[in-house]
A and B are shown apart, each in its own frame.
Chain A
Amino acid sequence: MTPCPLTAGLGLKPQHYDEALHCSAPGLWWEVHPENYLADGGPRLAWLDAIRAHHPVALHGVSLSLAADAPPNAAHLARLAALARRVEPAIISEHLAWSTWRGQYLPDLLPFPRTHAALHRIADNIARTQDALQRPIAIENPTHYLHIDGHDWAETDFLAELVQRTGCALLLDVNNVFVSANNLGFGAQAYLDAFPLHAVTEIHLAGHHADPVHGNALLIDSHDAPIAAAVWALYEQVIARTGPVPTLIERDDQLPAFSELLAKREQAHSALAKPLPQEAACS
Chain B
Amino acid sequence: MQLSAFQAGLSAALLGHAVHVPWVSALESQPGFAVYRNTVLKGSIDALQANYLTVCQLVGEDWFRAAAAVYVRAQPPADGLLMDYGVGFADFLAGFAPAAELPYLHAVARLDRCWTECHLAADAPAVGRDWLAQQAPDTLPLAQLLPHPAARWAWCEEHPAYALWQSHREGLALTEPLEWTGDGALLTRPHAEVTWHPLSRAGMTFLDACAHGQTLEAAATAALDAEPTADFAALISTLLDAGALIPTDSRPG
Given A42-B150, A220-B35, output 7 extra A-B contacts at Cβ < 8 Å: A35-B81, A43-B193, A46-B192, A68-B7, A107-B80, A108-B43, A147-B30
Residue of B44, B79, B192 touching A76 (CB-CB under 8 A): B79
* B98 adjacent to chain A (CB < 8 Å): no
User: In this complex, what residue of A is CB-closest to B44?
Assistant: A107
Residue of B10, B150, B189 touching A110 (CB-CB under 8 A): B10
Bound-state Cα–Cα, A44 to B47, Å: 16
Q: Are A105 and B77 in contact (CB under 8 A)?
A: yes
Bound-state Cα–Cα, A106 to B32, Å: 16
Considering only CB atoms and an 8 Å cut-off, how many residues of chain B contact the other chain? 47
* B18 adjacent to chain A (CB < 8 Å): no
Q: Are A146 and B120 in contact (CB under 8 A)?
A: no
* Closest Cβ–Cβ distance, residue B145 to chain A (whole Å): 19
User: In this complex, what residue of B is CB-closest to A143?
Assistant: B35
Residues on the B chain within 8 Å of A115, using CB: 1, 3
* Closest Cβ–Cβ distance, residue B160 to chain A (whole Å): 28
* A93 adjacent to chain B (CB < 8 Å): no
Q: CB-defined interface of B94-121 with A at 8 Å, one 1/0 digit per residue?
A: 0000000000000000000000001111
* B39 adjacent to chain A (CB < 8 Å): yes
* Closest Cβ–Cβ distance, residue B23 to chain A (whole Å): 7
* A134 adjacent to chain B (CB < 8 Å): no
Residues on the A chain within 8 Å of B118, using CB: 42
Q: Are B149 and A41 in contact (CB under 8 A)?
A: yes
Residues on the A chain within 8 Å of B76, using CB: 104-106
Q: Are A62 and B30 in contact (CB under 8 A)?
A: no
* Closest Cβ–Cβ distance, residue B242 to chain A (whole Å): 16
Residues on the A chain within 8 Å of B150, using CB: 41-42
Residues on the B chain within 8 Å of A147, using CB: 30
Q: Are A113 and B7 in contact (CB under 8 A)?
A: no
* Closest Cβ–Cβ distance, residue B48 to chain A (whole Å): 11
* B83 adjacent to chain A (CB < 8 Å): yes
User: In this complex, what residue of B is CB-closest to A34?
Assistant: B80
B residues 103-155 touching A (CB-CB < 8 Å): 118-124, 149-150
* A52 adjacent to chain B (CB < 8 Å): no
User: In this complex, what residue of B is CB-closest to A43?
Assistant: B192
Q: List 18 A-B contacts (CB under 8 A).
A: A40-B123, A42-B118, A43-B119, A69-B3, A99-B80, A104-B11, A104-B78, A105-B82, A106-B14, A106-B43, A107-B40, A108-B14, A145-B30, A145-B32, A146-B32, A147-B30, A148-B27, A149-B26
Residues on the B chain within 8 Å of A104, using CB: 11, 15, 76-78
